[in-house]
Amino acid sequence: MNIAGKALLDTGWDVDQRAVIEADTDARLVVEAGPGTGKTAVACARLAHLINEEDIEASNTWMISFTRTAVAEIRARLHSYVDDASFGIRIATIDSHAWSIHSGHDPNARLTGSYEENITRVIELLKSDEDVADELAQIEHVVIDEAQDLVGQRADLIEALVNRLPSDCGVTVFADEAQAIYGFSDDSIGRRKGGVPKRGKPLLDRLRGVKALGFTTLVLKEIYRTSSPGLRKIFSELRSDMLDKQKHRDGLHGQTAERIRALADQQGLKWTQMKVADFTSDDLLLFRTRAEVLMASQFCDLPHRLRLSGYGVTLPAWLAICFADFIDPFIAERRFLDLWAARIENQAAPHYGPAEAWERLVCVAGRKDGSVDMQRLRRRIGQTRPPVELTLPEYGLHGPIVGTIHASKGREASNVVLLLPNGAEFESIEDEIEETRVLFVGATRARASLIVGESNAFRASTLASGRVHRSARNGKSTMVEIGRDGDITARGLVGRSEFSAADAAAGQAFLTKVADVVTTYKLEADADLDWRYRIRAGNEGPRVGALSRNLTYDLWEILSNRNQKNSHRPPGHVNHVRGLGCATIALSPDDNDLETLNEPWASSGFILTPRIAAFPPFFFSGRR
């Protein structure tokens, strides 16, 4: 037995946890695990036990999770259990696993295909392709996390995968039906995502309903996340109500909200009275809708982080600061440490230092001689879903986290402020039940204390692009979300059509200075850029970028929806655009956009970008 295996056995697992961890290699289990019962730890310990004690090859195990954030947490925890063997475990989101199968077995696979097309093709491969069957025949155990959230095509995919696995391949499925909330989006209350109900039976019903698959159910009961009496009642008693179909009735949402208020450590906080300065980096401020999060962020001038869908994966600023003009094919550790000392110091430094930064680079693109392959690094982090080792878990600067309940699923914090919506309306009892689960998920993110506040639900709309907008009561302005993935591109930062080489250099130099501070920008419509908006630092500062046409198109759509009779136009300038430090855009060596950029970025592929997350007012102009 190795040291990691001994440490694993010495851990104080309870009887239920140990039953899961030490189950037979080929066992097929559905593990019902409520919040705070140690689900993630047990999932990792299950794989670690199989590798350390049952001699299963790490490379023959899969861990499938719902989100990239969960993947990062699982990978870190597994490494502490099984040392270097954890790197052999295929830990990824379901979408990443699907793409791996698709790209590996279909010569016509392409990233530009729609999500539905890609998943449909993977399901076909799972059902009929013998090469896929041969690959899966090597798999000895699969762990599936957050199974209650796998709906629609993702559920179809997992069902096809389980059916195709060898009969002696073990499968451990973790789920909590009380936390099944992904039939809704975080854009509005009481409306299913895209307005379309879930399709087909839930995954758990499918797995349990086929006797030949051989699934049995185990339950984790003991709560470890919190010792607070009120929170423990929310975690247990309220969860029982969520699962008891006999208690599902009209008014369940309002009654659940009242119980959460009664059991919380504090209640009555108004979100309009909240100040980020009153909270610490251990605090999580949760709203129901993304519009509320954007509104809270817009009026906060202190560092904070956002946990919100639609902003893409964030690469830390130090990558661009170190490598903006680095064009050598490889870099040695000594050279990297010199660059860090000269350029990072205390500025834009993450929560880790140069030694760990180097370890992360080596993990992603290391060579046998100990150096880092810069071309490979760019290819890997230039992907739509770059490796989690070099991404940031939240969008913004070190400080309290402000987010939606959906985007915070699976995460926890010492102190949680839960802002409950008022006046929610539902079209059916099913909608009300699922929305009630959203409240339960939000309340169970807390470890130490829960404060319940009130949010003034306001009407906001969402465009087909996902951008949120909200008209002011007086009708004179419209608040519009800025900072979505695709709003700022490499061309908009250092492109030759947008900037001279000198202006691009000035903009990048300014961004380097503000890489770790809150900055206010101004947008200026530019006729030379077909009225796209340039991003200026303050009123007199340098221009640091230009927004893509995505925003311009959406503004015209907003105008069309608001008033089709009158001819209006977007404003010539927009103030109060909040920037939360900076991040990195990395382009693969074969990216076509490189030829449109100024040097040295056209050669290096690393560009610094303002991390904009804003909800400013747009005062639309009158008739032309």
The total number of residues shown for the chain amounts to: 624
User: What dihedral angle (degrees, nearest 10) is formed by the CA atoms of 313, 316, 321, 322?
Assistant: -110
Numbered ranges of CATH 3.40.50.300 in the chain: 3-220
- pLDDT the model gives residue 563: 57
pLDDT of amino acid 623: 47
- Where is mean pLDDT largest: 64-73, 205-214, 411-420? 411-420
Tell me phi and psi for residue 583, to 5 degrees. -140, -175
CA distances (Å), origin 471, targets 287, 461, 480, 532: 20, 9, 9, 22
Higher pLDDT, 120 or 347: 120
- Could you tell me which of 119, 108, 105 has the C-alpha nearest to residue 152? 119
The answer to whether the annotation marks 170 as part of a ligand binding site is no
For domain 229-312+395-459, give the fold: Rossmann fold (3.40.50)
Please indicate if the annotation marks 370 as binding a ligand.
no
Predicted pLDDT at 180: 86
What is the structure's pLDDT at 299?
84
Tell whether 609 is in a known binding site.
Answer: no
Residue pointed to by tokens 């009026």: 299
Measured distance CA(408)–CA(451) in Å, rounded: 16
Query: Residue-wise over 449-474: b if at least 16 C-beta within 10 A, else e?
Result: bbbbbbbebeebbbbebbbbbbbeee
pLDDT of residue 454: 86
Could you tell me which CATH class the domain 3-220 is placed in? alpha beta
Chain-centroid distance, C-alpha 397: 16
Q: What pLDDT band is residue 449 in, cutting at 50, 70 and 90?
A: very high
Residue scoring higher pLDDT (339 or 472): 339
Amino acid at position 107, single letter: P
Region 230-248 average pLDDT: 91
User: What is the rounded distance in angstroms from the CA atom of residue 532 to the CA atom of residue 551?
Assistant: 8
Enumerate residues 6+ apart whose C-beta is below 8 A from 18. Answer: none
The alpha carbon of residue 1 and the mean position of all alpha carbons in its chain are separated, in whole angstroms, by: 37
pLDDT digits (tens, 9 = 90+) for 110-160: 655 566 778 888 899 999 889 988 989 999 999 999 888 888 888 899 999
Least Cα distance to 293 among 460, 520, 133, 431 occurs for 460
Look at residue 551 in the predicted model and tell me its pLDDT: 95
State the alpha helices, DSSP H only, in 210-302: 229-233, 239-243, 252-263, 290-298
| Spatial separation of the C-alpha atoms in residues 443 and 383, rounded to whole Å | 35
Separation of alpha carbons 148 and 44, rounded Å? 19
Among residues 522, 511, 485, which one has the least CA distance to residue 317? Answer: 511
268 labelled binding-site residue? no
pLDDT at 105: 78
Q: Is 289 annotated as a binding residue?
A: no
Determine the pLDDT at residue 11.
65
- pLDDT-wise least confident of 302-306, 355-359, 367-371, 428-432: 428-432
Structure confidence at residue 426 (pLDDT): 81
What band does 562 get if pLDDT is binned at 50, 70 and 90?
low
User: In this predicted model, what pLDDT tens digit does every residue of 527-559 receive, in sequence order?
Assistant: 999 999 999 998 889 999 999 999 999 999 988
Are the CB atoms for 57 and 401 separated by under 8 Å? no
- Residue 258 token pair: 């009242």
Q: Are 272 and 281 in contact (CB under 8 A)?
A: no
Q: How confident is the model at residue 360 (pLDDT cuts 50, 70, 90)?
A: very high
Greatest distance between any 2 Cα atoms in the chain: 79
Q: Is the pLDDT of residue 8 over 80?
A: no
Question: pLDDT-based confidence at 367, cuts 50/70/90?
Answer: very high
Q: How far apart are CA 11 and CA 30, in angstroms?
A: 23
Split at pLDDT 50, 70, 90, the class of 194 is very low
The two structure tokens encoding residue 373: 């392959």
Q: Whole-angstrom Cα distance, residue 442 to residue 307? A: 13
pLDDT tens, position by position, 483-513: 998 999 999 999 999 999 999 999 999 999 9
**Which amino acid does the sequence have at 88?**
G
Supply the pLDDT for residue 66. 72
Residue 346's pLDDT is 61
Phi first, then psi: what are they for 537, rounded to 5°?
-75, 105
Q: 204-208, 246-250, 397-401: lowest mean pLDDT where?
A: 246-250
Element housing 338 (H / E): helix 333-343
Annotated binding residue at 391? no
Q: Which residue has the higher pLDDT, 211 or 341?
A: 341
Degrees, nearest 5: CA angle 34-40-43: 105
Work out the pLDDT band at 109, boundaries 50, 70, 90. low
pLDDT at 392 over 70: yes
Side chain identity at residue 515, one-letter code: A
Do the beta carbons of residue 583 and residue 317 sit within 8 Å? yes
Phi/psi at 286 (5° precision): -110, 130
The reply to whether 40 sits in an annotated binding site is yes
DSSP states along 544-561: EEE--HHHHHHHHHHHHH
Q: Which helix (H) or strand (E) holds 256?
A: helix 252-263
d(CA 427, CA 461): 18
pLDDT score at 198: 46
Range name among 100-114, 397-411, 461-475, 520-534 with the lowest pLDDT average: 100-114
Residues 6+ apart with CB under 8 A from 322: 336, 339, 340, 343, 344, 606
Q: Between the CA of residue 560 and those of 531, 564, 605, what are the distances in Å?
A: 18, 5, 38
- For residues 514 and 508, give the distance between their C-alpha atoms in angstroms, rounded to a whole number: 10
Query: Can you spell out the DSSP letters for 167-219?
Result: TT-EEEEEE-GGG--TTB-SSSSS-BGGG----SS-HHHHHHH-GGG--EEEE
d(CA 444, CA 181): 14
What is the distance between the alpha carbons of residues 598 and 595, in angstroms, rounded to a whole number? Answer: 8
**Residue 330 pLDDT grade (very low, low, confident, very high; cuts 50, 70, 90):** very high
d(CA 125, CA 117): 12
Q: Answer whether residue 566 shows pLDDT above 60.
A: no
251 is in an annotated binding site: no
Tokens of 406: 């959906």
**What's the one-letter identity of residue 333?**
E
What does the DSSP 8-state code read for residue 597?
Answer: B
In this model, does residue 323 exceed pLDDT 60?
A: yes
**Residue 302 burial (CB count, 10 A):** 12
Average pLDDT value for residue range 252-256: 89
Whole-number pLDDT of residue 83: 61
pLDDT, position 567 = 45
pLDDT in tens, 256-286: 999 999 999 988 887 777 777 788 888 999 9
Residue 422 has pLDDT above 80, yes or no: no
Determine the 3-state secondary structure of 539 from DSSP. Answer: coil
User: Nearest 5°: CA angle at 609, between 585 and 329?
Assistant: 35
Cross-strand partners of 29: 172, 216
User: Is 582 a residue whose pLDDT tops 60?
Assistant: yes
How far apart are the two ends of the chain, measured CA to CA in Å? 79
Q: What is the pLDDT of residue 564?
A: 42
Structure tokens at 476: 């004179």
> Which pLDDT does position 439 carry in this prediction?
93
